[in-house]
Each structure stands twice: as structure tokens, then as C-alpha cells.
Amino acid sequence: MRTFQRRIAAAIGAALGVDPAPLESQFSTPPDRKLGDLAFPCFLLSKELKRAPVQIAGELAALDLGLEWVSEVTAAGPYANFRFHREQFARQALAEIRSSGDEFGCSEAGAGRTIVIDYSSPNIAKHLAVHHLRSTMLGQAMANIFRAAGYTVVGVNHLGDWGTGFGKLLCALERYGSEDGLTESPLSERDDAITVLNGLYTRFNNEAKDHPELDDEARAWFQRLEAGDELARARWKEIRQFSLARFQQVYDRLGVKFDEVIGESFFEDRMPVVIAELEEKGLLEESEDAQVVMVGEDIPPFLVRKKDGTTLYGTRDLAAVKQRWDTWHFDRCLYVVDAGQGLHFRQLFTVAQMLGWECADRLEHSAFGVMRMQVDGGWAKGRTREGHVVLLEDVLDHAVEKARAVLLEKNPDIEDPDAIAEAVGVGAVIFSDMKARRIKDVNFDLEKIVSFEGETGAYLQNTHVRFCGLLRKSERQGFDPAAGAGAALTTDEDLTLLQELLRFPEVVERAAEEAEPSIVSQYLLGVASAFNTYYAQHRVVDEAPEHAARTADRLALVDRVRVTLRNGLRLLGITPLERM
């Protein structure tokens, strides 16, 4: 709608001798179409011109703005309401929507700005669990959205591949690994390698409770790893590679792609520089033998180095801030990490501030809530009754299985049910993750999310498929959606849909600014619902020759609703289907 608002603002600006730019964003929708199609509140102008808003609204109503697509301006209190010349507006609106072709929704709003997005970032030697879904998919959707809005995006997978925990793991592997045959053959030959590794780790921790000397042994292993000891390095490397390959299988399935995979280990020899800078600036303090930065009264100190000299997750994060800034000179650096790590990021950002780093106020924690699963009639946080983490792959498999059952029930003769069930099932999981604002907790209800009814990904998929079907059929009937110029789109419902579609690029820009994919998902639900209202009242294809022009226009509209839905689903990371 912005193009149209800009034109009205320019006309007002010229007529009243004011700068039109601030007026462009002032418009709103009248509560009732009877009042007009676009409302302009006169409060801002009132301030500038020092006249009452009611008076200004009256003045605007009396002006001739010289816009052929505006048929009438009326004053209603402090508002000037613009009524559109329907034919003219529809024509121009359709042309505008078509102007970016298949790229509809994209813009150049963020051109020249760089966004670093830290997402997924799982720990190696662990499974990708269901709680990783949120960071992974929200982050991927943000990356897609920022790109569509014209920004340069660097998506980073900040792999958890370093830390004293790996000393314990290596120690456990050395002690018990041969019992499971884990040290005898390459990990890649073992399907259960991660599970077995986790088991060893747990066993180590249990035994260390009664045998504190084990901790010293683990520390020694970590030192070996740090010092580049051949065996320690080789085992760590194998675990890292193997984990990454397993992660990749899930990433491929979810359509997730990173620009950079930079693990915490990468910062091993970059931390000393940052620690030296802390020291130099007098920020490093001793506290209970550890080195810390006092970040403030109300938050605990930020730990830089432990008693035994080892560094921490936070130390590596601080080194990563510097590396990202030096490398990409970002405008924003987003950490798509659960809200539970809020304190960590508050500390981290404060330390960056204290260091006087220019990038400090460009760091953002794009926090999200927890995902709860149904366990025995209650909601639990990603764990089964036995306390095992729920694997992301299993959740995807279940969703696909459910989707397949629903699909086959609707249509037993469905072609290629595997591929379709995969897209619907995985898409449903993704959509459920992104439907509400990210900070909200999600109750993950498999039954509900694969349903074609309600506000689900499956419903949007199905709506998209219906558009594709309708257009295919009309093509066989000899219609061409490219032929319609839009002049027949004059009903209220036509206008509502056109106005809704025109917002798409603005919606994408706002979703980028707020790093909030749900702005796109909610928009798509709105478009689908506006179309269903439309469809209930208007016949799209009318074969009577006297209605050929109207049919062409309506098909043109359907075609652009289709593109909007398709592009929107893709932004969220969902694969839109053309048939099911």
C-alpha cells in the first residue's frame, strides 16, 4: 500500500506546502468501508501547521489532489477519508503487485546493511533434540526474511565443539569406550554412536561423584586436547565430523543452510587477545581464584577464566563478537537462542559495552520460549516420561506419518504420497513453531498441527494447492491469468484482497526489523482467510462469454494470491506444494 500512500502524501505535501515524507506512514484503515477506503489522521499535520485537525481534514476534503484513482475525499472529524475510484485503483494495484513478478514480497529496504544471525548452534556429541528446532527454524526464517528485504545476511552455526566437557568425554571414551567397541571402529559405522557417547558421558559423571580424581583425569584430557595431542585431537575431530554429518541430515530435511559453520573451538587462540584487552582496560578482576568482569549490581559477574585457567562458553562468545565485527562489520548481530540464556547475553553485551566496542549496541538476543510436548496428557519440556530428550528426527517422522494418514484419508489415490507427506508433515512442524510471537512458549500438539482445519501449516499448504488447481483448470478451459488487467476487480472483497496483497513487501520488512517470523505467518493466515471470504461470495471462473473479462481479472487476482502464499511459505522455510 505504500506506493499509494506515498502518492497521496506527495499530493497533500504539495498542496499544503509541507514535507510529505513523514506523512506516508500516517495512514490507517477506516472502521467501515462506507466511510472510505483509506483514512488519513490529521494530527501530525495539525502540529506542524498549528491548526486544528478537524479544520485540516476539512481543507483536505476540499482539495483536488489530482489522483485519478481517488474518487472522493471526505472529512470525518480529524480524519480525511479517501475513496478509491475502484476501476482505476484495481488496475494500478494489480500492476504494482505484478511489477516484481515471481519475486513479489522482496524489496531493497535493507540494501547496504549486514545482519549476522547466530542460529541452531547445537553441541556436538549430542543429538539434535526437539528444542533445537526453534533456534534452527526461527533463525533460518529470519535469514530468509532479511534476504528478501534486501539485507546482506551471514548465517552462522556457532557449533558447541569446545570446552572442558570434551575432556570428560575423551576421558570416558578412553576408560569405557572399548567396552562398547566404540574406540575399535570408525564412529560413522555406528548408527548409535551419539547415544553410546552420551551414555559414556553420563556414566563418567556418575562415577566422578565418588571418585573426584576422575575430574583431574578429565582435566588432563582437555589439556591434551588444547595442547594438540595427537590422539585427543584425532578423537575430537572424528566426533565433530561425525556429529556434523548427522546434523546435516536433519538440516537437509528442513532446508536449512548456513553461510558459516564456526565452532567454539575456532576461538581457542583468539581468546587471549580479548582477555588481554579486558586486562588492559582494567576490567578483569579476581574473584574466588577465578577471573571475572563485574558487570553490574543486579547481575552476577561474567566469568572469563576458571580457577584452573580454562576458559568458558562466555569467553568464546566474547571472542566471537570481536571476530564477527572484524569480519563482517555488521549492522545487527542476532542470537537466536532460547530465553533461558537471557542472563548470559545480558552479561556478554554489557562486557562488550564496557570494552567500549562500537558494535556493542548492535548485538541482540532474539529470544524464544520453550517448546512443550504432550507427555501422558500433560505438557513437558521436550523430554519423554523416562526423561530422554525427544529427538528432532523422531518428531519430524511422526509428523510425516500423521500427515500421510490424513492425506490418504482425504484422497486414497494420491500421487507420490511420500513426497507430499514429507512436505506437509515437516511444513506443519515448522509452521507451528512460527505461528505465534517467538517469545511465547509453544505447546506442540502433533494431532492439531497436521490438521487441515484451523490455523495450521497444512491448511496454508492446502489453500496454496487449491489456487494452483484452480489456475491449472482455468488454463485448460482456455483462460490466461496474465490477460487480466484488473479493471473488473471492483467489489469490496476485491479491494480488500488487493490492499492486503499490496502490504506483503511491507510485512516482510517489518518482520525483518523486528526479527519476528510470526509477522509473516500471521499475514499469510490473514491472506488465506481474506481469500476464503472472497471465494464464498464470488465465482472466479464464469464461462459465460459476457463475463470473460471479469474472469480474466479474477484469475489474475488468484494468481497473485498464489504467489504471495507461495513466497511467504518459502520465507518461513516451508516447501509449498502444487498438488496433493
Binding site for ligand ARG (CB under 6 A): 118, 121-123, 158, 160, 317, 335, 337
Which lies closer to ligand ARG via its Cβ, residue 225 or residue 519? 225
Whichever of 160 and 427 has its CB closer to ligand ARG, that residue is: 160
Q: What is the signed CA dihedral for 104, 110, 113, 117, rounded to 10 degrees?
A: -60
CA distance 32 to 101: 32
Q: What's the min distance (Å) between Cβ of 170 and ligand ARG?
A: 19
Instruction: Give min distance, CB of 301 to ligand ARG, in A.
Output: 18
Helices (H) and strands (E) in the chain, counts: 20, 14
Least Å from the CB of residue 158 to ligand ARG: 4
Our CB check for ligand ARG shows the closer of 313 and 535 to be: 313
Helix axes of 457-476 and 417-434: crossing angle, nearest 10 degrees:
130
Toward ligand ARG, which CB reaches closer, 129 or 577?
129
Give the shortest CB-43-to-ligand ARG separation in angstroms: 44
The percent of the chain in helix, strand and coil, each rounded to the nearest 5, is 60, 10, 30
CA–CA distance, 55 with 64 (Å, rounded to integer): 16
Minimum CB separation from ligand ARG for residue 335, in Å? 6
Least gap, CB of 363 to ligand ARG (angstroms): 10
Q: What is the residue-wise DSSP string for 336-371?
A: --BGGGHHHHHHHHHHHHHTT-GGGGGEEE--B--E
Where do we find the cell 492425506?
407
Residue closer to ligand ARG, measured from CB, 51 or 344 = 344
Give the residue among 444, 440, 443 at the shortest CA–CA distance from 395.
444
Which CB sits closer to ligand ARG, 335 or 431? Answer: 335
Instruction: Provide the 10 A C-beta neighbour count for residue 78.
Output: 17
Measured from the CB of residue 196, what is the shortest distance to ligand ARG in angstroms?
A: 20
Give 172 or 337: the residue with its C-beta nearer to ligand ARG: 337
33: left (phi over 0), alpha (psi -120 to 50) or beta: alpha
- Give the DSSP per-residue string, 392-408: HHHHHHHHHHHHHHHHH
What cell was used for 454?
484451523
Which residue is nearest to ligand ARG, using beta carbons? Answer: 160
